[in-house]
Structure 1
Amino acid sequence: MHASDTAPSAPAKGIPLHLKVGIGFLLGTLLGLAVHLVAPGAGWVNDVIQYAARPFGTIFLNLLFMLVVPLIFSALVLGVAELGDIASLGRLGWRTLVYTAVVTGIAVLIGLAMANLIQPGTHMDPALVQQALSSNAAKTGAIVEKGRELHIVDIIVDIVPHNIVGAMGDDSKKLGIVFFALMFGIGLVMRPTPGTLAFKNALHGLFEVCMHLIGLFVKLAPYAVACFMFILSAQMGWEVLVGLGWFVVTVVLALAIHGFVVLPLWVKFMGGMSVREFFRGSQEASLTAFATASSAATLPVTLRVAEENLKLPRKISRFVLTVGASASHHGSALFEGITILFLAQVYGLHLPLGEQVLVLVLCILGGIGTASIPSGSLPVIAMIAGVVGLDPAGIGIILGVNTFLDMCRTSLNVTGDLAMAVVVAKRSGAQELDDSAVEKLDEIVR
């Protein structure tokens, strides 16, 4: 996807959104804790939750959920189509694709391992969480039962939908949309005609519209976070903070392992560059990514850092980093895997090894479908949750800490892209990408 597609407009004056989210988190939590201490279970508290806080939070989530299908479809189709264009340029495209899949898979494995080891979701009472997120206390049992009824064979069969429209309306069959989008992207690559080019441009338009709408909806996030934290803390007290604390520790620790262990080893032994040189050269891009929480918005800085600081060949760096900004999200994939297991643990749903492998694959694919914007992982998490039998509305539990974690995982995304460029540059010849292809990438960046 074009970097300009997701590049933000001129920054608005006033308090930054991430600070507003933090304020909403703090106010909602403090107010909820005060209510829990002074009037636990009071009738008026339940009325405020039932008729004000929960409806607003539900509307906010529904605004995001209604964009899941068009966003996932357009992002995956465009991601595959552009990877296909790149693959047609020669071995460089395939090498980049394989390396991206391998390192993203390692990131997700680290996330799943940490989630299984630390078990962050077990520190929250599932009954209280379900009571906080839904007025139907029996829904937790239904979620658990639905998860138990899932069978890998059935999931594999449902990958190929007989009715794509029906799959769009069934959370448990969202994997069919992924397959349909992948096939559609391959079809666009195999049939390059004026008609398919026009359709690809139309998909770019759809993607841009989704991005714009998400940008509008996310402005409501501080208020939604305040509502969710008020509900959770008013009904659960300090327990919700303890549970979220374990979740944050799990994610940050997993990101740190991948960013400070796996990527340095990858750069040193596969890329032939010293770890100190790599981190010194890439720190500006990593800090910019942390501040903007957007891989696409950071792309110009990433390209400059690769060429000026890391001294990578222009042909290779432009190629790899342009792909990486739209289709390589190590940190996001890792975060998605941890979040799915966290929600499963919260709801008391045990995911066996087979279904965790499914989560692994979906998270790798989600690296392509994740939008390069702040909170772009949330729609992908909602889709994966539906596939494995979890209530997608459960992401409301993590909204309060999502902003900080989004900044952390975006920084890892960009660092991972630069590491990928180092390795590909070491193991490829600059002649594998001709000048006309570089000119095309220059147009994409602009």
Structure 2
Amino acid sequence: MGLKKDLLLVLTIESVVLGVVLGFVIRPFNPSNDTISLIGFPGEIFMQIVEMMILPLIISSVISALAQVRARDARQIGIVTVIYYMTTTFLSTNMFPENIIQATFQQVQTYYVPIRPKLHRQNGTVVNVSEVVFHKPQLTYTNEMNVLGLIVFCSGFGVILSILGDQARLMINFFIVLDAIIMRWISALMWCYPIGILSLVCKNIVDIDNLTETAQALAMYVVTVICGLMIHSLLTLPLLYFIVTRKSPFAYMTGMLQALATAFGTASSGATLPVTFRALEENLKIDRRVTRFVLPLGATITMDGTALYEAVAVIFIAQLHNVKLTLLELLTIRLASFQDGTALYEAVAVIFIAQLHNVKLTLLELLTIR
């Protein structure tokens, strides 16, 4: 078993490295769009298979985990988890979906509709003409799974099963067996990860237009983002782990190597979720009742790296367009990126667009546009 885990870890890391190498080898030949699509085809199939497993994985894991713990323990786990995630992100309106079936394939998203001022005529003369374009926030549904809403529903479902106890034993056993089936299926799919990651990494590198010029133009931006991510991942989070547990964070990170490599190759928290389950439960021996509740929630509502690079991106683009940002505007961008904890709504990008059009958003509006 140990040999298999080590082999899979080595293959995952090698697939990332080999994907980068092959990407740079193929680039000079200027492959056609069809060729690039064929290179990324295994990766696309891989991502579709993984995404297919996310819904049953979340439902079975969250319900089975909370149904097997006492209601008091479930409440304690929930409180600690929410407090931790609330330190890095705000929750969104998608916590409570109005239709649980619809939540499996759609979620609410805020977008801005440009509204141009009307022209007023007086005695045949146009008056009150303004070049300012206002943006009105509107809610719409996007074709993406509302994972957060599903987690909230499944959490309540699991806690109630735990309270019912023997009365709900048949239903509890059903979700326990369903969870075991899904994890066995995912264990078999793990061996497809190296092929999918290699394909995705290679395709992304080949598909970049004018790599040298792009790298030169974005050099400082890339360096800034990477430095921020390194500080956050190698200093802030390990320090927080050490303060809470009084244990070495580097031993913990060693057990997470395969999950880290998968996250780098796929750039998807959902695709990495099954690997993270396995790493925590098999390598680090963490109670599965904790991982099955904490991980799906964390993969949905906490995206520290997203908040970091979005804030840097807005400031970088503002500098390119010679837009002078005041201290208050910088703090506003930081606050918006702080609350942008899900991939549901690009708050920072909208704020920057609003700044370009001289639209001033109040602090209350920033907190309620979700």
TM-score interval (norm. to shorter): 0.5 to 0.7
For the structure 1 residues 200 and 352, does the alpha-carbon distance in structure 2 shift closer, same or farther, using more than 3 Å as the test? farther
Q: Whole-Å Cα distance in 2 between the matches of residues 285 and 185 of structure 1?
A: 32
2:97 corresponds to which of 147, 152, 161: 161
Task: Please tell me the residue identity of whatever aligns with 1:182.
Answer: S
Contact persistence 2:43–2:196 (CA under 8 A)? yes
- Provide the residue aligned with 1:28 in structure 2: 19
Q: Whole-Å Cα distance in 1 between the matches of residues 103 and 173 of structure 2?
A: 25
Q: Indicate whether 1:197 and 2:182 are aligned.
A: no
Matched ranges for 1:60-71 at <5 A: 60-71=46-57
- Provide the residue aligned with 2:280 in structure 1: 295
Q: Indicate whether 1:39 and 2:46 are aligned.
A: no
For the structure 1 residues 297 and 76, does the alpha-carbon distance in structure 2 shift closer, same or farther, using more than 3 Å as the test? same
Q: Indicate whether 1:286 and 2:286 are aligned.
A: no
Q: Deviations along 1:291-338, whole A, 9 cap, x unmatched? A: 6762211455x7xxxxxxxxxxxxxxxxxx675455456996699513
For the structure 1 residues 247 and 60, does the alpha-carbon distance in structure 2 shift closer, same or farther, using more than 3 Å as the test? farther
- Provide the residue aligned with 1:255 in structure 2: 233
Q: CA deviation at 1:287?
A: 6.6
**TM-score computed with the length of structure 1 as normaliser:** 0.49
Q: Whole-Å Cα distance in 2 between the matches of residues 263 and 225 of structure 1?
A: 29
For the structure 1 residues 16 and 248, does the alpha-carbon distance in structure 2 shift closer, same or farther, using more than 3 Å as the test? farther
- Provide the residue aligned with 1:76 in structure 2: 62
For the structure 1 residues 221 and 332, does the alpha-carbon distance in structure 2 shift closer, same or farther, using more than 3 Å as the test? same
Task: Please tell me the residue identity of whatever aligns with 2:252.
Answer: S
For the structure 1 residues 358 and 98, does the alpha-carbon distance in structure 2 shift closer, same or farther, using more than 3 Å as the test? same
Structure 2 counterpart SS, 1:219: helix
Contact persistence 2:252–2:284 (CA under 8 A)? no
Task: Please tell me the residue identity of whatever aligns with 1:229.
Answer: V
For the structure 1 residues 244 and 332, does the alpha-carbon distance in structure 2 shift closer, same or farther, using more than 3 Å as the test? farther
- Provide the residue aligned with 2:206 in structure 1: 234
Aligned length: 269
Task: Please tell me the residue identity of whatever aligns with 2:234.
Answer: A
Task: Please tell me the residue identity of whatever aligns with 2:188.
Answer: L
Please say which of residues 96-105 and 182-191 is displaced more in the overlay.
96-105
Q: CA deviation at 1:218?
A: 2.5
Matched ranges for 1:6-405 at <5 A: 10-12=1-3, 16-36=7-27, 38-40=28-30, 42-43=31-32, 46-50=33-37, 52-83=38-69, 85=70, 87=72, 97-106=78-87, 108=88, 156=93, 159-170=95-106, 171=144, 173-194=146-167, 196-236=168-208, 237=211, 249-266=227-244, 278-279=246-247, 286=252, 289-290=255-256, 294-298=279-283, 300=285, 324-328=290-294, 336-341=302-307, 353=335, 356-357=338-339, 359=341, 384-385=342-343, 387-388=344-345
Q: CA deviation at 1:286?
A: 3.0
Which has the greater radius of gyration? 2
Q: Whole-Å Cα distance in 1 between the matches of residues 300 and 152 of structure 2?
A: 21
For the structure 1 residues 208 and 285, does the alpha-carbon distance in structure 2 shift closer, same or farther, using more than 3 Å as the test? farther
Structure 2 counterpart SS, 1:67: helix
Structure 2 unmatched runs, 5+ = 107-143, 260-278, 318-331, 348-370
Contact persistence 1:344–1:351 (CA under 8 A)? no
Task: Please tell me the residue identity of whatever aligns with 2:63.
Answer: V
Q: Whole-Å Cα distance in 2 between the matches of residues 179 and 205 of structure 1?
A: 21
Q: CA deviation at 1:190?
A: 3.2
Contact persistence 1:20–1:222 (CA under 8 A)? yes
For the structure 1 residues 340 and 78, does the alpha-carbon distance in structure 2 shift closer, same or farther, using more than 3 Å as the test? farther
Structure 1 unmatched runs, 5+ = 1-9, 113-151, 268-277, 303-320, 360-383, 391-446
Percent identical residues: 16
Contact persistence 1:78–1:204 (CA under 8 A)? yes
Contact persistence 2:311–2:337 (CA under 8 A)? no
Q: Whole-Å Cα distance in 1 between the matches of residues 159 and 186 of structure 2?
A: 27
Contact persistence 1:167–1:176 (CA under 8 A)? yes
Q: CA deviation at 1:75?
A: 2.1
Contact persistence 2:67–2:162 (CA under 8 A)? yes
Q: Whole-Å Cα distance in 2 between the matches of residues 96 and 183 of structure 1?
A: 13
Matched ranges for 1:399-438 at <5 A: none
Structure with greater contact order relative to length (CA < 8 Å, sep ≥ 6): 1
Structure 2 counterpart SS, 1:164: coil
